[in-house]
Structure 1
Amino acid sequence: MTTECHRRPVNDETPRQRFYRRERQSVPAARAFAQETLRDWGGYGRADDVLLCVSELATNALVHGVPPGRGFLLRLVPYGEGGGVRVEVHDSGEGVPVQPRQDVQEPGEGGRGLLLVSELADKWGVGERRPGKIVWCEFAGPGYC
């Protein structure tokens, strides 16, 4: 079975963003917003990778970067000439993420989010924001189905 999808380049689209409060339901809401955006942009062949990275970056923002009473901004930006996507999570926290280590041996669930992001995304990094930071990752095109 073949699925028809739109073939317009994502970089012809307008960036989209949404603010989320510091609460548990913000992570699935951010993921749903990203999925809706990618679908509106005509589909994206690496959508599963993008959505997993949105979940990881949103979770990190809530756990490490969003002070009480604040929130984070998720921004999806058309990227590059080939129809890629840039994911940005803006928070007002003080900490700066560190480069993930491949040899993480500790038991437990923490410490692997940015390792996943570094493996799935083509690039990732941290930008300045006052107050806080922007943690971003990029997925180069062509990404359309």
Structure 2
Amino acid sequence: MNTETQPPSPRERFYRRERQSVPAARAFTREALAELAVRERAYDIVLCVSELATNALVHGVPPGRGFLLRLLPLPCGGVRVEVHDSGDGDPAVPQTRAREWDEGGRGLLLVSELADKWGVGERDPGKFVWCEFAW
């Protein structure tokens, strides 16, 4: 089999709706990036995973469900992050500025600033939020 024509294999893991899922997703991402020999922008990627996983748990994962984190190497160099959940809604960057003392409201703003691209895709049920980092 010619490995040069094979697409890079994704790294993925499913997380239940639990508080410890976000730090576990960050740890998994750091391990996967190390396995993929990703050094460039690793901090930004882990931060975006943290924000997207938190958003999935707070807004997108109904009780008894979970979310899927998928990391896909990009063929031209880079990484695509996807967080799949079964909730509804259409995530968007807030149009109003979060106040300094607000606990939330900055997650997608951070993702939009750190990632090269980001967006939302449909799935049945739910959605997935993705972002890409190229180098």
TM-score higher than 0.5: yes
Seen in structure 2, the aligned counterparts of structure 1 residues 40 and 102 have a Cα distance that, compared at 3 Å, is farther
If asked which structure has higher relative contact order (CA below 8 Å, sep 6+), I would say: 1
**TM-score for both structures, normalised by structure 1:** 0.84
Seen in structure 2, the aligned counterparts of structure 1 residues 46 and 95 have a Cα distance that, compared at 3 Å, is same
State how far apart, in whole Å, the 2-side matches of 1:12 and 1:42 are: 16
Contact 1:75-1:88 at 8 Å conserved across structures: yes
Gaps of 5+ in 2: 1-5
Aligned to 2:3: none
The count of residues paired between Structure 1 and Structure 2 equals: 130
Aligned to 2:90: 96
1:14-73 deviation per Cα after TM superposition (whole angstroms, max 9, x unaligned)? 111000000000000001101000000113210000000000000000000000000000
Seen in structure 2, the aligned counterparts of structure 1 residues 79 and 101 have a Cα distance that, compared at 3 Å, is farther
State how far apart, in whole Å, the 1-side matches of 2:91 and 2:123 are: 14
RMSD of Structure 2 on Structure 1 (CA)? 1.6
Q: Secondary structure at the match of 2:62?
A: coil
Aligned partner (choices 5, 19, 28) of residue 24 of structure 1: 19
Contact 1:86-1:139 at 8 Å conserved across structures: yes
**Runs of 4+ in structure 1 over 4 Å off:** none
Gaps of 5+ in 1: 1-10
**2:128 pairs with 1:134:** yes
Aligned to 1:118: 112
State how far apart, in whole Å, the 2-side matches of 1:123 and 1:44 are: 19
Contact 1:126-1:136 at 8 Å conserved across structures: yes
Contact 1:76-1:86 at 8 Å conserved across structures: yes
Give the percent of matched residue pairs that are identical in Structure 1 and Structure 2.
72
Q: Secondary structure at the match of 1:68?
A: coil
Code of the aligned partner of 1:138? E
State how far apart, in whole Å, the 2-side matches of 1:131 and 1:39 are: 32
